[in-house]
């Protein structure tokens, strides 16, 4: 899959373009339906499936104080889009100047750079200055500009459309089961292992430490059953999100103890996928109590994956 950071004349590079439009934060099951529809249509007409989106959320320019945290990072987005069959991602910066683009000018932009055979959007898609552009406008202008419009209905779960906003709320609540169901893959963090304070190693449970960045959504503090992908191998692991209250606290971070793994991971990029919360983070009265609890956590993680052996298969969307 090719990736572009600026607009060029894509008609010189690709034939019979089908373009999916949207922000696609998190690439949840609703987004996946839009993109799969575009991919299927491109295959039908022996064309090219393109996704046109923005590198930053429009609110970061229009209303910075209301910019939502991101659900997934760039690496994750690329993995998922590639696995969905997308041929190219066009992801340009949303700037102050672009925010002034009218809905009519945005449609002309589509014609100029993509000349699409089909445009695929969700039913709640908006575009152009102050979001005045709607699927109805796209449909009204489709004959004039020579494309056909496909509007995908929202994917409904529990009586409401699946949306990035709903998923953010569920992440904050720690409802991991619903988060994973709405995403269509396990909630995942990709990061580089940093040096910690080596406490886990001294306790007999070495951990890989990752920084938690403010611009991304994170689950509540606690202990989780996770898998770790490292060098194309998947390992079972115990993850802790928190501040190490037993040792008087530290900056909030993600620590992962990988079962049956003894290699040095400092500086390595790993992918951590979350499946089930085991318990809340807690402060222990002694180090011995903490060690006993960690041993119990490991046993529980093993039981979770042994009982639900299919869980690790769900990661196929993101690798």
- Is there a single domain that holds both residue 221 and residue 149? no
Domain check: are 153 and 218 in the same one? no
Q: Look at residue 172 and tell me if it is in a domain.
A: no
DSSP letter for 117, please. Answer: S
d(CA 201, CA 210): 16
Task: Decide which of 161, 193, 225 is a domain's last residue.
Answer: 161
Residue 29: CB atoms within 10 Å? 16
Quote the pLDDT of residue 214. 85
Decide which of 161, 196, 223 is a domain's last residue: 161
- At 144, list the tokens: 């004039």
**Predicted local confidence at residue 294, as pLDDT:** 87
CATH number at residue 110: 3.40.50.620
Residues 16, 148 within the same domain: yes
Parts of the chain with a pLDDT under 70: 196-204, 245-250, 285, 309-315
Whole-angstrom distance, CA of residue 259 vs CA of residue 166: 33
Token readout for 124 is 């709640």
Cα angle 268, 28, 300; round to 5: 55
In this structure, the answer to whether residues 41 and 133 fall within a common structural domain is: yes
Whether residue 199 is found in the same domain as residue 153 = no
The parent domain of residue 217 ranges over 185-317
Residue 174 in domain: no
Final residue in a domain of this structure, among 161, 196, 226: 161
pLDDT of residue 246: 54
Helix (H) or strand (E) holding 42: helix 29-44
Q: What is the DSSP letter of 70?
A: B
Nearest to 199 by CA among 160, 245, 168: 245
Residues 10, 142: one domain?
yes
In a domain, 180, yes or no: no
Q: Which helix (H) or strand (E) holds 17?
A: strand 17-21
Check residue 156 and give left, alpha or beta (phi > 0: left; psi -120 to 50: alpha). beta
Instruction: Tell whether 177 is covered by a domain.
Output: no
* Residue 167 placed within a domain: no
Tens of pLDDT, residue by residue over 80-137, are 999 999 999 999 999 999 999 999 999 999 999 999 999 999 999 999 999 999 999 9
CATH number of domain containing 308: 2.40.30.30
Is 176 inside a domain boundary?
no
112 and 229 inside one domain: no
Q: pTM of this prediction?
A: 0.90
Both 7 and 137 in a single domain?
yes
Tokens 């989780």, located at residue = 224
Shared domain for 218 and 120, answered yes or no, is no
Assess whether 83 and 223 both reside in one domain.
Answer: no
Query: What is the domain count for the chain?
Result: 2
Residue 286 domain flag:
yes
Of 52, 41, 34, 51, the residue nearest 16 (C-alpha): 41
**E strand or H helix that includes residue 171:** helix 164-173
**Residues 146 and 295 occupy one common structural domain:** no
Same domain, 152 and 190: no
């Amino acid at each position: 899959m090719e990736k572009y950071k600026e607009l060029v004349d894509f008609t010189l590079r690709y034939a019979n373009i089908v373009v999916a439009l949207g922000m696609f934060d998190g690439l949840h099951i609703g987004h996946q339906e839009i993109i799969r529809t575009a991919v299927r249509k491109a295959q039908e007409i022996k064309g090219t499936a393109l996704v046109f989106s923005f590198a930053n959320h429009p609110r970061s320019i229009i209303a910075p104080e209301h910019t939502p945290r991101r659900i997934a990072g760039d690496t994750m987005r690329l993995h998922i889009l590639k696995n969905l069959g997308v041929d190219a991602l066009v992801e340009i910066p949303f700037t102050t100047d672009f925010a002034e683009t009218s809905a009519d000018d945005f449609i002309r932009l589509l014609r100029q750079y993509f000349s699409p055979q089909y445009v695929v959007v969700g039913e709640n898609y908006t575009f152009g200055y102050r979001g005045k552009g709607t699927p109805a406008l796209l449909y009204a202008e489709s004959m004039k500009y020579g494309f056909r419009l496909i509007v995908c209905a929202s994917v409904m779960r529990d009586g409401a459309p699946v949306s990035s906003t709903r998923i953010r709320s569920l992440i904050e609540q720690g409802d991991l089961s619903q988060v994973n169901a709405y995403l269509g893959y396990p909630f995942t963090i990709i990061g580089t292992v940093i040096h910690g304070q080596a406490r886990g190693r001294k306790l007999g449970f070495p951990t890989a430490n990752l920084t938690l960045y403010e611009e991304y959504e994170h689950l509540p503090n606690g202990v989780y059953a996770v898998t770790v992908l490292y060098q194309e191998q998947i390992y079972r692991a115990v993850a802790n999100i928190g501040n190490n209250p037993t040792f008087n606290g530290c900056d909030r971070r993600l620590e992962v103890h990988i079962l049956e793994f003894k290699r040095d991971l400092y500086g390595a990029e790993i992918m951590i996928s979350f499946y089930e919360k085991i318990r809340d983070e807690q402060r222990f009265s002694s180090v011995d109590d903490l060690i006993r609890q960690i041993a119990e956590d490991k046993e529980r993680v093993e039981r979770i994956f042994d009982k639900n052996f299919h869980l690790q298969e769900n990661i196929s969307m993101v690798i």
